[in-house]
Amino acid sequence: MESITLMEAYAIETLRGNGISNDKIIKNIKANDLEEFKAVKENMDFDALVELDKNADFESIVNDGYKVKFLTFNGLKNLIKMKFGKFADEDYQVDEFVISGLELDENQQKDLENILSANWTLESEAGGVTVKPAK
């Protein structure tokens, strides 16, 4: 699984969150056609995805998933919101740097597990998923 930066993950998830299909993301990035994407979020650096496409298997990243190289706590919460539509204190609890009670289906849990950088661990429990700093 390819590793990408948090900002690259944000760019991909922003597009998905605005209803843009994986195929369209791949097609436009490969063609360096960013106008439509900039209309979605003008201050987002979609050029970073064009660069990523030159140095990595971009199609696999979009279709098969990715791992974030280094994921901060706020970055983790933002990705959970962008990717799964789940919000802190509404859909899960936050205590120090631990997220608990996050209810995800099996595929979502696998996606989250894949995204996490080495500084996080994920545990599945009866009341939902717990994500906490790796020891």
Number of domains the chain contains? 2
User: pLDDT tens, position by position, for the chain (135 residues)?
Assistant: 899 999 999 999 999 999 999 999 999 999 999 999 999 998 999 999 999 999 999 999 999 999 999 999 999 999 999 999 999 999 999 999 999 999 999 999 999 999 999 999 999 988 899 999 998
What is the distance, to the nearest Å, from the Cα of residue 4 to the centroid of all Cα atoms in its chain? 10
Residue 92 falls inside a structural domain: yes
Residue 77 falls inside a structural domain: no
Burial class of residue 105 in the structure, from the number of CB atoms within 10 Å of its CB (0-12 exposed, 13-18 middle, 19+ buried): exposed
Residue 75 falls inside a structural domain: no
Q: Which of the listed residues 17, 32, 67 is the one where a domain comes to its end?
A: 67
Residue 79 falls inside a structural domain: no
Residues 57 and 7 grouped into a single domain: yes
Residues 63 and 109 grouped into a single domain: no
The pLDDT value recorded for residue 135 is 86
The pLDDT value recorded for residue 126 is 87
Residues 15 and 62 grouped into a single domain: yes
Residues 23 and 63 grouped into a single domain: yes
Computed from CA positions of residues 38, 23, 103, 7, in that sequence, does the dihedral angle turn out positive or negative? negative
Q: Which range marks the domain in which residue 47 is found?
A: 3-67
What is the value of pTM for the model shown?
0.92
Residue 72 falls inside a structural domain: no
